[in-house]
Chain A
Amino acid sequence: MPIAHTPTAVPVIVDEAKCIADKGCTVCVDVCPLDVLRISDLTGKAYMKYDECWYCMPCETDCPTGAVTVNIPYLLR
């Protein structure tokens, strides 16, 4: 069975202008219990890679620069 990809709107947004992942920060990636954030090879900034979010907010709370915003996943909004 071949695999298709279904689009999904992810709930977590990173403000790339504020994110300092390129300076070595990985705080949000480290603290996420579901392990769904990554630093992009392309932009050097954090982003949500997997749509598997418990909307629990450590990523937003612990980000030193206030770059992360957690929204409620659309399905339950």
Chain B
Amino acid sequence: MDEIKSGLTEVVCDVLVIGGGTAGPMAAYKAKRHSPGARVVLLEKANVKRSGAIAMGMDGLNNAVVPGYATPEQYTKEITIANDGICDQAPVYKYASRCFKIIQELDGFGIKFQKNENGDFDVKKVHHLGSYVLPMPNGDTVKKALYRQLRREKVLISNRYMATRLLTGRDGQIAGAIAVNTRNAEFLVLRAKTVILCAGAAGRLGLPQSGYLWGTYENATNSGDGYAMAYHAGAALANLECYQINPLIKDYNGPACAYVAGPFGAYTTNSEGNRFIECDYWSGQMMQEFYSELQSGKGPVFLKLNHLHSDTIGKIEAVLHQVERPSRGRFHENRGTNYRERMIEMHISEIGFCSGHSASGVYVDEFARTTVSGLYAAGDMASVPHNYMLGAFTNGAVAGEHAAEVAVNIDLADYNAADVVREQQRVLAATRREDGIPPNQLEYKTRRFVNDYLQPPKVTAKMKLGQARFAEIREDMESAMVVRDAHELMRSLEAASILDCAEMAAFASLFRTESRWGLYHHRVEYPEKNDDDWLCHSILRKRDGRMIAEKRPVAPYIVPIDESERSAYDSQRIRQHA
């Protein structure tokens, strides 16, 4: 295993889904249900059985809009406010209207959501505004249940293939993708009428404080390949400067899980044991407060559970040590941290792109369409803000159905054979060298500079230095990178995606000359929010081989937000600054 072989296979399909984590399986399933006769391929870098953010399940849906608890209007309003007004509401509203049906459908797959003693969904309230959290005590079975459905529907699954580039036709429409086998380096050309990108967050962008490349908040397979592929295919990417940064258990880098422990009465405190967060919704504003507290004399920050009853803590542990990031219990054991006795030290994560938690993604409309004809995106890498797991499922479903419908009515586009040859050369160049720099060093260096120069607070001079360093790394990557086996080849391609994302992060951050989204885009030279010039999306794309950025107006709201609601949110901000 792992030695590099040469080979190229071409397959044809109607709908190609790239990434079999959360959104991807749902997209493939729905495409197949929509057009049972269609050839639907689900391509996955790892193995669909255990891949992506939900490899070990999740402990709950963070944003379930369940009738009787919350309305789509209310949810859309909150997301718009939490995202500082920069929100095309149509996809958010569509998500909110449809997600309950998806919950019921997942329930039918045998995925277990917490129910009360009357068999009804046991929705919890975690923040002031609405009730949205639906726990999943047996969440570790999610992937298995999805996998069964895919097999039953005869979706064609290609595991251990990493997509590296999209193929486009003469008119710029989608024509398919190129992928490389991660265990023998053989190429696969997949021709498709429509393609759905579900490759997850760009989670390997910043370097965790531990220095361990794989100790990321996101599943470390999610190296931003989807963002890079969309970029190189000419698609628009929205608001990439709105980074993802999350509060985490320090060093472990796993979620602190206020969403699980919160409903039981746990909360975030400073070292004095007092609450300090003013903000309601998990947002950049909240992260700013978190960051400020860490920096202040009142840090570090802790998750406080030790006031809870031992039985209650037992219940929390039963969830936290079972699903999502189950190695958490082992981490605490090593450190001798018992939730009953001590508060848990927290920190903030490295930066990344992710719409699941934030709003940085490939631009999509309410049908999950990108700006490239025939190309869709869903999940963490698509621009629908604060989408989380249920958003990935729901918008994956939207994308799958639409892409299948479109595929019925169009022909395969021809791709340019020269593009495939060029991509083979790019991919294999490093395998043809005898010695040089291995990918892990290039990756480490890129990510260290991401921390040094791109992490907020963002400073213009630093970001420009970062750009210069990234250019140097790119030269090394193109001229001196060496790869010795197929596994390392995958890592080298990931390193290239990471570098692409680093460059996009710098470019997008320099473009928006204001501060917005709290910590996510805190620009030191432009400390204020400037609605007159910047209440718009920033769009980044590749044109004529170069990176460009432009503004795009926010679509007119379909759920109006009145002034007092907006200012209520802003007043929290002002108090914080003071």
Residues of A within 8 A of B (CB): 1-3, 30-35, 38, 49-50, 52-58, 61-62, 70-73, 75-77
Contact = CB atoms under 8 A, between A and B. Distances in A.
A20 B221 CA distance: 27
Nearest to B203: A54
A57 B210 contact: no
Contact of A56 (B2, B47, B325): B325
Contacts of B220: 33-34, 52, 54
Contacts of A52: 213-214, 220, 491
Contacts, number: 94
Q: Which 6 A-B pairs have the closest CB atoms?
A: A58-B50, A76-B210, A31-B50, A33-B46, A75-B212, A55-B327
Given A55-B327, A57-B326, A38 B1 contact: yes
A31 B46 CA distance: 8
B480 A1 contact: yes
Given A2-B435, A61-B140, 6 more contacts: A3-B482, A30-B47, A34-B46, A35-B487, A58-B49, A61-B56
A76 to B, nearest CB: 4
Interface in B207-228: 208, 210-216, 219-221
Contacts of B335: 77
A76 B436 contact: no
Contacts of A34: 46, 214, 220-221
B51 interface: yes
Nearest to B254: A55
Given A1-B436, A33-B51, A50-B487, A73 B46 contact: no
Contacts of A1: 435-437, 480
B52 A57 contact: no
B426 interface: no
Interface of B: 1-2, 46-47, 49-52, 55-56, 140, 160, 182-183, 208, 210-216, 219-221, 251-253, 325-327, 330-331, 334-335, 435-438, 480, 482, 487, 490-491
Contacts of A50: 487
Contacts of B252: 72, 76
Contacts of B47: 30-33
A69 to B, nearest CB: 9
Contacts of B327: 55-57, 70, 72
Given A31-B49, A61-B140, A75 B183 contact: no
Contacts of B482: 3
Contact of B215 (A2, A49, A76): A76
Given A33-B52, A62-B50, A76-B251, A54 B331 contact: no
A61 B139 CA distance: 13
24 contacts: A1-B437, A1-B480, A31-B49, A32-B50, A33-B51, A33-B219, A34-B46, A34-B220, A34-B221, A35-B46, A38-B1, A54-B214, A56-B219, A57-B326, A58-B50, A61-B140, A61-B326, A62-B50, A73-B215, A75-B211, A76-B212, A76-B251, A77-B251, A77-B335
Given A33-B221, A54-B220, A56-B56, A72 B50 contact: no
Given A1-B480, A76-B253, A54 B219 contact: yes
Given A50-B487, A52-B220, A73 B214 contact: yes
Most buried by B among A34, A38, A62, A71: A34
A7 to B, nearest CB: 15
B251 A35 contact: no
A61 B327 CA distance: 11
Nearest to A50: B487
Contacts of B50: 31-33, 58, 62
Nearest to A36: B487
Contacts of B251: 76-77
A75 B46 CA distance: 24
Most buried by B among A3, A58, A76: A76
Given A31-B49, A32-B46, A57-B56, A75 B215 contact: yes
Contacts of B49: 30-31, 58
